[in-house]
Amino acid sequence: MESKALSGVRVLDLTQFLSGPFCTSELGMFGAEVIKVERPHIGEQGRNDNGPYKQGDVNLKWAIQHCNKKSITLNLKTEKGKQILTELIKISDVIVENYAPGTIEKLGFPWEKIHEINPRIIFAQIKGYNDKSPFATYPAMDGPIQATGGVAAQTGLKGGQPIISNVALGDAPSGMFTYAGIVTALYHRSQTGVGQHVRVNMQEVIMDYARSTFAIQNRVVKRGAAMTLAGEQAPRGMFECKPSYEGDSDNWVFLMVRDAPGQWQWKNFTDAIGRPDAFEDPRFKDGVTRLKNEEEVNKIVNEWTSQHDKKEVMDILCRAKLPTGAVMGIMDFLKADDLYETRFLQKMVQPGLGEVTIPSTAIRLSASPVQVEPAPDLGNDNDRVYKQLLGYTQEEMDALKAEDVI
């Protein structure tokens, strides 16, 4: 019988925006009971973000980040709120927070205190920088972290300014690193019976992802450079294709030809595009010469890609054993049958929005299915958590509401 891998694990979610919610959502998808602790009346800050993803009072961006969770309201700035959090810590397995540096400690819950309350608990924190960093006390979000973590220094066109990706390259990987740290700590606890402190620093996550850049330590890696860690590469980059449909603005493909032994990649490429003469041209005999004559190389490539749409280019070159990628966006994904068949994309009914398509997780476990559940309304699970888990009566709950504790 199939079962969820993290069934029986209770997680207190004290997170906001993306890095922390990404982590706790992954835990929830694999069966952990994730209890999101939010401010009374207002909720987590991300609920109130405005933008094209907000429809009425419902924020689809927030909903995507908080599937498979329960929501309770709790004012952690009140003494009664702190007492209740202490009660919840006693009956939980994991607590995750990514508040601004020093916030959880000011509330009275440093690691030492949490470990004293429950020696079995795993306490996971996501911060921008390590405690020894000159930036340790600075606020951190995805964009600044891409800048300080090394993404921007390597991203952009040759001679142009650094570029920050719209993809959350700082937030999302930090959440996944934290997920991995928590699961590792849970395994350790199964052997020792003792919890531990998990700390993830976002700047270090990006540096970890980009660890190959440390292979070049005697000079700066320039933006848009065709000289890469894989060697001299030309052609390499984005090339414009024939539009796939009227108004197609993503009609581009990324392709590269490595300076491979025997120049087999360049041979396969020139054969695939019908230009065997280019393989015999001494200007293009290897990566060094192609890079010196990059403008002429790119002209040959552009003449060919402009005659095909992006998926045709990808198909032709990949069949020639040359890794190539068509530029695909959200509209491509929503039409991709394979993503539904593998259940990476799932349809569900989100209250206030109706049927929506939600990404699940890229992790696949053969015996642990993932079913995406809608994000909760604010305080949706107060009754269950406070009454069933903590034993509060309705009268006690009414009093807590009147005092603005929950």
What SS3 string covers 369-396?
CCCCCCCCCCCCCHHHHHHHHCCCCHHH
Residue type, position 320, single letter: A
Residues 266 and 375 placed together within one structural domain of the fold: no
Band (pLDDT 50/70/90 cuts) for residue 49 is confident
Give me the mean pLDDT over the 260-277 stretch.
Answer: 96
Residues 302 and 370 placed together within one structural domain of the fold: no
Q: Are strands 10-14 and 94-97 parallel, antiparallel or unpaired?
A: parallel
Q: Which of 326, 359, 386 is the last residue of a domain?
A: 326
CATH of the domain at 106: 3.40.50.10540
CATH of the domain at 298: 3.30.1540.10
Q: Is residue 358 part of a domain?
A: yes
Q: Is residue 234 part of a domain?
A: yes
Band (pLDDT 50/70/90 cuts) for residue 2 is low
State yes or no: is 381 an active-site residue: no
Q: Which of 269, 299, 326 is the last residue of a domain?
A: 326
The string of DSSP letters for 154-203 reads H-SSTTS-----SS-TTHHHHHHHHHHHHHHHHHHHHHHS---EEEEEHH
**Torsional sign, CA 272, 327, 66, 152:** positive
Q: Rounded to 5 degrees, what are φ and ψ at 282?
A: -60, -20
Quick one: tokens of 62?
């927030």
Q: Is residue 115 part of a domain?
A: yes
Residues 173 and 231 placed together within one structural domain of the fold: no
Residues 185 and 262 placed together within one structural domain of the fold: no
142, 171, 259, 309: the active-site residue: 171
Least confident piece of the model among 51-65, 110-124, 278-292, 330-344? 51-65
Q: Which of 326, 357, 379 is the last residue of a domain?
A: 326
Residues 272 and 354 placed together within one structural domain of the fold: no
Q: Does residue 154 have a pLDDT over 90?
A: no
Structural domain harbouring 286: 227-240+252-326
| Cβ atoms of residues 29 and 346 within 8 Å | no
Quick one: what percent of the chain has pLDDT higher than 90? Answer: 83
Q: What is the DSSP code (8-state) at residue 48?
A: G
Per-residue confidence (pLDDT) for residue 58, from 0 to 100: 80
Q: Is residue 2 part of a domain?
A: no
Per-residue confidence (pLDDT) for residue 66, from 0 to 100: 96
Give the number of domains in the chain: 2
Per-residue confidence (pLDDT) for residue 71, from 0 to 100: 98
Q: How far apart are CA 46 and CA 49, in angstroms?
A: 5
Using a 10 angstrom Cβ sphere, with 0-12 exposed, 13-18 middle and 19 or more buried, the burial of residue 349 is exposed
Q: Is residue 334 part of a domain?
A: no
| Cβ atoms of residues 188 and 122 within 8 Å | no
Residue type, position 355, single letter: E
Residues 6+ apart with CB under 8 A from 241: 251, 252, 253, 305, 306, 308, 309, 310, 312, 313, 326
| Cβ atoms of residues 64 and 26 within 8 Å | no
Q: Does residue 244 have a pLDDT over 50?
A: yes
Residues 175 and 76 placed together within one structural domain of the fold: yes
Q: Is the peptide bond before 101 cis (omega within 30 degrees of 0)?
A: no
Per-residue confidence (pLDDT) for residue 1, from 0 to 100: 44
Q: Is residue 339 part of a domain?
A: no
Q: Rounded to 5 degrees, what are φ and ψ at 264?
A: -65, -30
Q: Is residue 3 part of a domain?
A: no
Q: Is residue 338 part of a domain?
A: no
